[in-house]
Structure 1
């Protein structure tokens, strides 16, 4: 399985690449400003991952256009900044988090389906962010959250698009490999 990983200039990107490689995938890594939509068509990825990044969605290069162009037909996973990009593509906004959380774990509560199929609720998830998704549009469902109701996962109601605010690739996240396997196997 070919997994296109869009690198938003983040140190966690290659942890994701390593996790997908370990799962038996062929990760293809391109920086967010070094790939075109036409090149993605040629690559024919089976999955697309929008990586974390140090800034906000407006500074994520082609990430939003990739979600818009391919999300209806190729499953997309957004991680951290990637989830914020998904939210903004569909009309939401990104705001400062009530509290910046970097290198800490939180209890992640979830719906039990899709990415979270077979995972306990709650589980510990690693967080590294100072921004959060807000004004979540009606086409996105809240799939996971923290105790204080910060959105931790969103899923499109028609397309195979899902985002997580926490970092499944971090060693601090429980069941991260299982969550990524669920993405690879499908979001049903």
Structure 2
């Protein structure tokens, strides 16, 4: 069965439909990762987006039960050059087509993904819609120019209730703005006693859990759409060690008085070089974000820049000048992606241990 992708600029791509039958609209973005399609399509940060994968063959190692980053994928659609119908891997349990069918996600294969990517790079992220071939493409394109999408993505992908993953190490409260399972795995791997809480839990409720540290997760959309989260982070910054990832990084920055703006076409892939400006070390990182913190807006805050993107110079990490609070724009949990930045979790645990020692010393000397 044929299916078309219509962009708001009037571009039309006709290919083979797979996955769910229904057509959906969303923000069309691209990811340059060569592997990790299962983690990409289950990343909650892609909520309401139609994701184009630039690597030409997708689905060749199938779908397994272990590599999901969320239980219910929330992207609006998937576009590939070729969708493998007969995957080959010992862990494979079903095909990409079967997964998209099960999760009610439409897919489009057989189009020129290189051309689509170049359009997005030239014009910026565009709105698009999957339609059948008997629809009026010009009318669809015109409708897309005025269509607005919901801005409540974080509310929809965050956990609806707190839950506990017991451990014998420091207690970490992970505020879920659309957290990838990879973050939780990294905390559990290090023995943390993890509480995962909804995005709108108050600072008072979070502190009542007696955490040793707080993690702010990744998540979809514009950070200014979750104003209550910014206020909560503003309260928590002076209380405990905090580590923010992606959207969590943006929320820390906004809570300290910085501003954010939308990138032309975002950073999405597993091959983005990032430089630590303090040491000169360069890590290859996994990224997925459409917004960035404005470097000039950090000048009057208590934050210092720790990392920058090699490709475009944008801010990739900050640290607080007074409190044990730091964040990065990329994904050190590496799901999928290189593990260069994984030691940032070890740093977070070291900061929590140091902070706990200092609190005990203060209590003893009081």
- TM-score of the superposition, structure 2-length normalised? 0.46
Computing the radius of gyration over CA atoms, which structure comes out larger, 1 or 2? 2
Please point out which of 281, 284, 291 is paired with 1:121.
281
Select which of 261, 270, 292 maps to 1:104.
270
Is the counterpart of residue 9 in structure 1 residue 178 in structure 2?
Answer: yes
Kindly state the Cα deviation for residue 62 of structure 1 after the two structures are TM-superposed.
4.2
CA, structure 1 residues 16+181, in 2 after alignment: closer, same or farther (shift >3 Å)? same
Q: Secondary structure at the match of 2:173?
A: strand
CA pair 136-50 structure 1, distance change in 2 beyond 3 A: same
User: Could you tell me how far 1:101 is from its partner in structure 2?
Assistant: 1.7
Per-residue deviation, 1:111: 3.5
SS in 2 for 1:176: coil
Give me the whole-angstrom Cα distance separating, in 2, the residues matched to 1:95 and 1:173. 27
Contact 2:272 2:287 in 1 (8 A): yes
1:65-104 correspondence to structure 2 within 5 Å: 65-104=231-270
Looking at structure 1, the residues matched to 183 and 227 of structure 2 have their Cα atoms a distance apart, in angstroms, of 19
Q: How many residues align?
A: 179
Structure 1: unaligned runs, 5 residues or longer:
114-119
Compute the displacement of 1:58 (Å).
Answer: 2.5
How large is the RMSD of aligned CA atoms in angstroms? 2.0
| Structure 2 residue aligned with 1:25 | 192
**Distance across 2 between alignment mates of 1:168 and 1:177:** 5
- Partner in structure 2 of residue 151 of structure 1: 315
The answer to whether the aligner puts 1:136 opposite 2:298 as a matched pair is yes
CA contact (8 A) 2:334 2:342 kept: no
Residue 186 of structure 1 aligns to a residue whose secondary structure is helix
Higher RCO (CA 8 Å, separation ≥ 6 residues)? 1
Change (3 A) 1:72 1:46: same
Give 1:142 shift.
Answer: 0.5
What is the CA–CA distance in structure 1 between the aligned matches of 2:249 and 2:314, rounded to whole Å? 13
Report the counterpart of residue 177 of structure 1 in structure 2: 342
Post-superposition Cα deviations, 1:48-98, rounded to whole Å, max 9, x if no partner, equal 011111112233364323321121120111111111111111111110124
Q: Is the contact between residue 270 and residue 284 of structure 2 (CA under 8 Å) also seen in structure 1?
A: no
Gaps of 5+ in 2: 1-169, 355-366
Deviation at residue 175 of structure 1 after TM alignment = 3.0
